[in-house]
Structure 1
Amino acid sequence: MFFWWILWTFYLVAYLYIIFFVIQDLFRDEKLSGWWKALWIILLIFVPFLTGLVYVIARGKGIAQRQSEARGRVVREADDYTPAASASPAADIARAKELLDAGTISQGEFDALKSKALGNQYFGA
Protein backbone atom coordinates (compact mmCIF):
# COMPACT_ATOMS: atom_id res chain seq x y z
CA MET A 1 0.00 0.00 0.00
CA PHE A 2 2.75 2.47 0.96
CA PHE A 3 4.75 1.53 -2.14
CA TRP A 4 1.79 2.32 -4.41
CA TRP A 5 1.23 5.65 -2.67
CA ILE A 6 4.88 6.62 -3.23
CA LEU A 7 4.72 5.47 -6.87
CA TRP A 8 1.56 7.47 -7.58
CA THR A 9 3.02 10.50 -5.82
CA PHE A 10 6.09 10.25 -8.03
CA TYR A 11 3.90 9.99 -11.14
CA LEU A 12 1.87 13.02 -10.06
CA VAL A 13 4.97 15.14 -9.46
CA ALA A 14 6.48 14.04 -12.80
CA TYR A 15 3.18 14.80 -14.55
CA LEU A 16 2.99 18.29 -13.05
CA TYR A 17 6.64 18.93 -13.90
CA ILE A 18 6.05 18.02 -17.55
CA ILE A 19 2.98 20.24 -17.78
CA PHE A 20 4.73 23.24 -16.27
CA PHE A 21 7.84 22.59 -18.34
CA VAL A 22 5.87 22.57 -21.59
CA ILE A 23 3.93 25.71 -20.63
CA GLN A 24 7.16 27.49 -19.65
CA ASP A 25 8.79 26.53 -22.93
CA LEU A 26 5.73 27.62 -24.91
CA PHE A 27 5.81 31.10 -23.45
CA ARG A 28 9.57 31.31 -23.83
CA ASP A 29 9.29 30.72 -27.58
CA GLU A 30 9.01 34.09 -29.32
CA LYS A 31 8.68 32.60 -32.82
CA LEU A 32 5.53 30.60 -32.10
CA SER A 33 2.27 32.47 -32.67
CA GLY A 34 -0.35 32.89 -29.99
CA TRP A 35 -2.76 30.56 -31.77
CA TRP A 36 -0.26 27.70 -31.75
CA LYS A 37 0.49 28.34 -28.09
CA ALA A 38 -3.23 28.23 -27.30
CA LEU A 39 -3.63 24.99 -29.26
CA TRP A 40 -0.73 23.34 -27.41
CA ILE A 41 -2.21 24.40 -24.05
CA ILE A 42 -5.69 23.11 -24.96
CA LEU A 43 -4.19 19.79 -26.02
CA LEU A 44 -2.12 19.75 -22.83
CA ILE A 45 -5.28 20.14 -20.76
CA PHE A 46 -7.30 17.43 -22.51
CA VAL A 47 -4.58 14.90 -23.43
CA PRO A 48 -1.65 15.82 -21.20
CA PHE A 49 0.57 12.74 -21.40
CA LEU A 50 0.34 12.34 -25.17
CA THR A 51 0.70 16.09 -25.74
CA GLY A 52 3.79 16.26 -23.54
CA LEU A 53 5.35 13.36 -25.41
CA VAL A 54 4.50 14.80 -28.85
CA TYR A 55 5.76 18.24 -27.76
CA VAL A 56 9.14 16.88 -26.73
CA ILE A 57 9.44 14.89 -29.96
CA ALA A 58 8.27 17.69 -32.26
CA ARG A 59 10.00 20.62 -30.60
CA GLY A 60 12.87 18.97 -28.71
CA LYS A 61 15.69 20.68 -30.57
CA GLY A 62 14.21 24.12 -29.94
CA ILE A 63 13.71 23.38 -26.24
CA ALA A 64 17.44 23.06 -25.63
CA GLN A 65 18.15 26.19 -27.66
CA ARG A 66 15.55 28.27 -25.79
CA GLN A 67 16.85 27.08 -22.43
CA SER A 68 20.38 28.01 -23.44
CA GLU A 69 19.25 31.47 -24.56
CA ALA A 70 17.29 32.00 -21.33
CA ARG A 71 20.31 30.97 -19.27
CA GLY A 72 22.46 33.41 -21.26
CA ARG A 73 19.97 36.22 -20.63
CA VAL A 74 20.08 35.58 -16.91
CA VAL A 75 23.87 35.70 -16.88
CA ARG A 76 23.94 38.92 -18.94
CA GLU A 77 21.34 40.53 -16.66
CA ALA A 78 23.32 39.50 -13.59
CA ASP A 79 26.48 40.95 -15.15
CA ASP A 80 24.70 44.27 -15.62
CA TYR A 81 24.22 44.51 -11.86
CA THR A 82 27.75 43.50 -10.96
CA PRO A 83 29.58 46.53 -9.60
CA ALA A 84 32.85 47.30 -11.35
CA ALA A 85 35.82 49.46 -10.57
CA SER A 86 35.63 53.00 -11.86
CA ALA A 87 37.30 53.96 -15.12
CA SER A 88 38.85 57.02 -13.44
CA PRO A 89 39.00 56.43 -9.69
CA ALA A 90 40.90 59.66 -8.99
CA ALA A 91 38.17 61.80 -10.60
CA ASP A 92 35.43 59.93 -8.74
CA ILE A 93 37.23 60.33 -5.42
CA ALA A 94 37.82 64.05 -6.10
CA ARG A 95 34.12 64.51 -6.90
CA ALA A 96 33.17 62.65 -3.71
CA LYS A 97 35.61 64.82 -1.70
CA GLU A 98 33.95 67.96 -3.09
CA LEU A 99 30.55 66.61 -2.00
CA LEU A 100 31.97 65.83 1.45
CA ASP A 101 33.49 69.32 1.80
CA ALA A 102 30.20 70.89 0.70
CA GLY A 103 28.38 68.89 3.38
CA THR A 104 26.21 67.07 0.84
CA ILE A 105 27.36 63.62 1.96
CA SER A 106 28.59 62.21 5.24
CA GLN A 107 32.02 60.73 5.96
CA GLY A 108 30.56 57.21 5.75
CA GLU A 109 29.06 57.92 2.32
CA PHE A 110 32.39 59.37 1.18
CA ASP A 111 34.20 56.23 2.36
CA ALA A 112 31.68 54.05 0.48
CA LEU A 113 32.08 56.09 -2.73
CA LYS A 114 35.86 56.00 -2.41
CA SER A 115 35.80 52.25 -1.88
CA LYS A 116 33.51 51.78 -4.87
CA ALA A 117 35.72 53.95 -7.07
CA LEU A 118 38.72 51.84 -6.12
CA GLY A 119 36.79 48.67 -6.92
CA ASN A 120 37.03 47.06 -3.51
CA GLN A 121 33.57 47.75 -2.13
CA TYR A 122 33.35 44.22 -0.77
CA PHE A 123 36.51 44.39 1.28
CA GLY A 124 35.78 47.58 3.20
CA ALA A 125 39.08 49.21 2.22
Structure 2
Amino acid sequence: MDDYPLLNVFWTMLWFFLWIMWLFLLFKVITDIFRDHSLNGWAKAGWLIFCIVLPYLGVLVYVIARGKSMGARDVKQARESEAAFQDYIRKTAGTPEGGGGGATAELARLADLKEKGAITPEEFEKAKAKVLA
Protein backbone atom coordinates (compact mmCIF):
# COMPACT_ATOMS: atom_id res chain seq x y z
CA MET A 1 0.00 0.00 0.00
CA ASP A 2 2.95 2.34 0.48
CA ASP A 3 3.75 2.10 -3.22
CA TYR A 4 0.42 3.67 -4.20
CA PRO A 5 -0.48 6.75 -2.10
CA LEU A 6 -4.06 7.61 -1.24
CA LEU A 7 -4.14 10.60 -3.59
CA ASN A 8 -3.23 8.33 -6.50
CA VAL A 9 -6.12 6.04 -5.56
CA PHE A 10 -8.51 9.00 -5.72
CA TRP A 11 -7.07 10.15 -9.07
CA THR A 12 -7.40 6.62 -10.47
CA MET A 13 -11.01 6.39 -9.28
CA LEU A 14 -11.81 9.81 -10.75
CA TRP A 15 -10.41 8.90 -14.16
CA PHE A 16 -12.18 5.53 -14.06
CA PHE A 17 -15.57 7.12 -13.32
CA LEU A 18 -15.02 9.79 -15.98
CA TRP A 19 -14.24 7.01 -18.47
CA ILE A 20 -17.42 5.15 -17.50
CA MET A 21 -19.46 8.36 -17.87
CA TRP A 22 -17.94 8.90 -21.31
CA LEU A 23 -18.88 5.34 -22.31
CA PHE A 24 -22.48 6.03 -21.29
CA LEU A 25 -22.43 9.20 -23.39
CA LEU A 26 -20.96 7.29 -26.36
CA PHE A 27 -23.74 4.68 -26.20
CA LYS A 28 -26.35 7.44 -25.80
CA VAL A 29 -25.02 9.17 -28.93
CA ILE A 30 -24.96 5.94 -30.93
CA THR A 31 -28.54 5.08 -29.97
CA ASP A 32 -29.61 8.64 -30.81
CA ILE A 33 -28.01 8.33 -34.25
CA PHE A 34 -30.18 5.30 -35.01
CA ARG A 35 -33.30 6.81 -33.39
CA ASP A 36 -33.18 10.04 -35.43
CA HIS A 37 -35.59 9.78 -38.36
CA SER A 38 -34.47 13.09 -39.88
CA LEU A 39 -31.06 11.65 -40.82
CA ASN A 40 -30.78 9.55 -43.94
CA GLY A 41 -28.76 6.34 -44.05
CA TRP A 42 -25.55 7.95 -45.30
CA ALA A 43 -25.64 10.63 -42.61
CA LYS A 44 -26.19 7.98 -39.95
CA ALA A 45 -23.28 5.96 -41.32
CA GLY A 46 -21.07 9.05 -41.39
CA TRP A 47 -21.83 10.00 -37.79
CA LEU A 48 -21.37 6.40 -36.68
CA ILE A 49 -17.99 6.08 -38.40
CA PHE A 50 -16.93 9.46 -36.99
CA CYS A 51 -17.89 8.35 -33.45
CA ILE A 52 -16.10 5.01 -33.81
CA VAL A 53 -12.91 6.18 -35.56
CA LEU A 54 -12.43 9.33 -33.46
CA PRO A 55 -14.58 8.56 -30.43
CA TYR A 56 -13.79 11.51 -28.16
CA LEU A 57 -13.93 14.09 -30.93
CA GLY A 58 -16.90 12.42 -32.63
CA VAL A 59 -19.02 12.39 -29.47
CA LEU A 60 -18.05 15.96 -28.60
CA VAL A 61 -18.92 17.25 -32.10
CA TYR A 62 -22.20 15.29 -32.14
CA VAL A 63 -23.29 16.67 -28.77
CA ILE A 64 -22.40 20.21 -29.84
CA ALA A 65 -24.03 19.92 -33.28
CA ARG A 66 -27.10 17.86 -32.43
CA GLY A 67 -27.43 18.02 -28.65
CA LYS A 68 -30.58 20.15 -28.66
CA SER A 69 -32.45 17.84 -31.03
CA MET A 70 -31.09 14.88 -29.05
CA GLY A 71 -32.84 16.22 -25.96
CA ALA A 72 -36.03 16.87 -27.93
CA ARG A 73 -36.06 13.26 -29.14
CA ASP A 74 -35.61 12.07 -25.55
CA VAL A 75 -38.58 14.16 -24.42
CA LYS A 76 -40.69 12.95 -27.36
CA GLN A 77 -39.88 9.32 -26.60
CA ALA A 78 -40.69 9.82 -22.91
CA ARG A 79 -44.06 11.38 -23.80
CA GLU A 80 -44.88 8.56 -26.20
CA SER A 81 -43.97 5.97 -23.56
CA GLU A 82 -46.09 7.76 -20.97
CA ALA A 83 -49.04 7.99 -23.37
CA ALA A 84 -48.76 4.29 -24.20
CA PHE A 85 -48.58 3.45 -20.49
CA GLN A 86 -51.64 5.60 -19.72
CA ASP A 87 -53.52 3.99 -22.61
CA TYR A 88 -52.60 0.55 -21.27
CA ILE A 89 -53.86 1.52 -17.81
CA ARG A 90 -57.14 2.83 -19.23
CA LYS A 91 -57.68 -0.38 -21.20
CA THR A 92 -56.74 -2.60 -18.27
CA ALA A 93 -58.77 -0.74 -15.66
CA GLY A 94 -61.90 -0.70 -17.82
CA THR A 95 -64.75 -3.14 -17.46
CA PRO A 96 -64.90 -6.34 -19.51
CA GLU A 97 -65.92 -5.94 -23.14
CA GLY A 98 -69.60 -5.42 -23.69
CA GLY A 99 -70.11 -4.00 -20.20
CA GLY A 100 -70.73 -0.47 -21.44
CA GLY A 101 -67.71 1.06 -19.69
CA GLY A 102 -69.02 1.89 -16.26
CA ALA A 103 -67.68 4.58 -13.93
CA THR A 104 -64.03 3.99 -14.78
CA ALA A 105 -64.58 4.56 -18.49
CA GLU A 106 -66.71 7.63 -17.76
CA LEU A 107 -63.99 9.12 -15.55
CA ALA A 108 -61.37 8.44 -18.22
CA ARG A 109 -63.57 10.12 -20.82
CA LEU A 110 -64.06 13.14 -18.54
CA ALA A 111 -60.31 13.36 -17.91
CA ASP A 112 -59.66 13.31 -21.66
CA LEU A 113 -62.20 16.08 -22.18
CA LYS A 114 -60.56 18.14 -19.44
CA GLU A 115 -57.08 17.60 -20.94
CA LYS A 116 -58.31 18.68 -24.37
CA GLY A 117 -59.90 21.81 -22.87
CA ALA A 118 -63.44 20.81 -23.84
CA ILE A 119 -64.61 21.19 -20.23
CA THR A 120 -63.36 23.41 -17.42
CA PRO A 121 -61.91 22.02 -14.20
CA GLU A 122 -65.09 23.05 -12.36
CA GLU A 123 -67.26 21.15 -14.85
CA PHE A 124 -64.94 18.18 -14.51
CA GLU A 125 -65.29 18.17 -10.72
CA LYS A 126 -69.10 18.41 -10.92
CA ALA A 127 -69.32 15.58 -13.47
CA LYS A 128 -66.87 13.47 -11.46
CA ALA A 129 -68.95 13.92 -8.31
CA LYS A 130 -72.07 12.91 -10.28
CA VAL A 131 -70.35 9.76 -11.64
CA LEU A 132 -69.02 8.74 -8.22
CA ALA A 133 -72.36 9.36 -6.46
Structure-1-length-normalised TM-score: 0.65
Aligned length: 95
Among residues 77, 80, 88, which one is paired with 1:73 in the alignment? Answer: 80
Match of 2:94 in 1: 85
Deviation at 1:51, TM superposition (A): 1.0
Deviation at 1:4, TM superposition (A): 2.5
Deviation at 1:118, TM superposition (A): 6.2
Structure-2-length-normalised TM-score: 0.62
Match of 1:39 in 2: 46
Alpha-carbon distance between aligned partners in 2 of 1:15 and 1:28, rounded to the nearest angstrom: 20
Report SS of the residue matched to 1:81: helix
Match of 2:23 in 1: 16
Alpha-carbon distance between aligned partners in 2 of 1:87 and 1:25, rounded to the nearest angstrom: 40
Alpha-carbon distance between aligned partners in 2 of 1:77 and 1:2, rounded to the nearest angstrom: 47
Alpha-carbon distance between aligned partners in 2 of 1:6 and 1:47, rounded to the nearest angstrom: 24
Alpha-carbon distance between aligned partners in 2 of 1:87 and 1:16, rounded to the nearest angstrom: 48
Structure having greater relative contact order (Cα 8 Å, sep ≥ 6): 1
For structure 2, the 5+ residue unaligned runs are 1-7, 105-133
Alpha-carbon distance between aligned partners in 1 of 2:45 and 2:34, rounded to the nearest angstrom: 10
Report SS of the residue matched to 2:68: helix
Report SS of the residue matched to 1:32: coil
Matching residue's letter, 2:34? F
Alpha-carbon distance between aligned partners in 2 of 1:64 and 1:35, rounded to the nearest angstrom: 22
Alpha-carbon distance between aligned partners in 2 of 1:84 and 1:7, rounded to the nearest angstrom: 48
For structure 1, the 5+ residue unaligned runs are 94-115, 120-125
Report SS of the residue matched to 2:99: helix
- Structure 1's consecutive aligned runs of 4 or more residues displaced over 3 angstroms after TM superposition are 84-88, 116-119
- Percent same amino acid at aligned positions? 38
Alpha-carbon distance between aligned partners in 1 of 2:64 and 2:103, rounded to the nearest angstrom: 53
Alpha-carbon distance between aligned partners in 1 of 2:65 and 2:102, rounded to the nearest angstrom: 52
Alpha-carbon distance between aligned partners in 2 of 1:2 and 1:117, rounded to the nearest angstrom: 64
